[in-house]
Amino acid sequence: MSPRFMTLLIAVVIPAWPCAPVGADGFNLEDKASSAFVNAPGITGATGFPYEGPSGNTSLRRNDPEDRPPDRPRKDYIEDMERQWYWLGVDGDAARPIEDFGTSAGTGLLAHEDLDLDGDLDRLQFQYFDDNTLIRVQYRLIGSAYPHPHNIRSGFANTMLRTIGVINFDDVKHAYGLYTMTDLALTGIVDTVTGEITHDPTLGERIATGPAVVPIVHERIVQSDWHPAAGEISNAVTTYLSSPGAPHYMLVSDDSLVPFIEAGGTLTDNPSVLDPKIPNTGEDMQFALQWDFKLDPGGSFVITESLMIIPEPTTLSMLLILTATRRRRRPRR
Q: How far apart are CA 187 and CA 177, in angstroms?
A: 32
- In this structure, are residues 95 and 261 in contact, taking their beta carbons and an 8 Å threshold? yes
In terms of residues, how long is the chain? 333
DSSP secondary structure string for all residues of 165-227: EEEE-SSS-EEEEEEEEEEEEEEEEE-TTT--B-S-TTTT-EEEE---SSTTSPPPEEEEEE-
Q: How far apart are CA 142 and CA 6, in angstroms?
A: 22
Residue 18: CB atoms within 10 Å: 8
Closest-CA residue to 76 (of 183, 158, 196) = 196
The answer on pLDDT for 137 being more than 90 is yes
Determine the average pLDDT of the residues in 235-261: 83
Report which of residues 228 and 309 the model is more confident about.
309
Q: Output the pLDDT for position 17.
A: 35
Burial class (CB in 10 A: 0-12, 13-18, 19+), 77: middle
Label residue 228 left, alpha or beta by phi (over 0 means left) and psi (-120 to 50 means alpha).
Answer: alpha
Determine the average pLDDT of the residues in 97-120: 88
Question: In whole angstroms, how far apart are CA 143 and each of 47, 115, 159?
Answer: 19, 13, 6
Q: Output the pLDDT for position 276.
A: 42
Determine the average pLDDT of the residues in 71-75: 77
Closest-CA residue to 151 (of 30, 310, 301) = 310
Q: Output the pLDDT for position 151.
A: 63
Burial class (CB in 10 A: 0-12, 13-18, 19+), 245: middle
Sheet holding 158-168, edge to edge: 109-113, 123-129, 133-143, 158-168, 300-311, 235-243, 221-226, 206-209, 280-281
Question: In whole angstroms, how far apart are CA 222 and each of 210, 272, 294, 327?
Answer: 7, 15, 30, 22
Give the pLDDT confidence of 33-46 residue by residue, as tens digits.
Answer: 899 999 999 898 88
Q: Output the pLDDT for position 152.
A: 54
Tell whether the torsion through CA atoms of 17, 109, 49 and 157 is positive or negative: positive
Residue 269: CB atoms within 10 Å: 13
The answer on pLDDT for 314 being more than 70 is no
Q: Output the pLDDT for position 235.
A: 60
Q: How far apart are CA 113 and CA 91, in angstroms?
A: 35
- In this structure, are residues 57 and 76 in contact, taking their beta carbons and an 8 Å threshold? no
Q: Which residues of 301-324 are buried (b: 16+ CB within 10 A; e: fewer)?
A: bbbbbbbbbbbeebbeebbeebee
Give the pLDDT confidence of 197-246 residue by residue, as tens digits.
Answer: 776 666 667 777 766 555 545 557 777 776 665 554 556 677 788 888 88
Give the pLDDT confidence of 276-288 residue by residue, as tens digits.
Answer: 445 566 667 888 9
**Percentage of residues in the chain having pLDDT higher than 70:** 69
Closest-CA residue to 127 (of 116, 112, 113) = 112
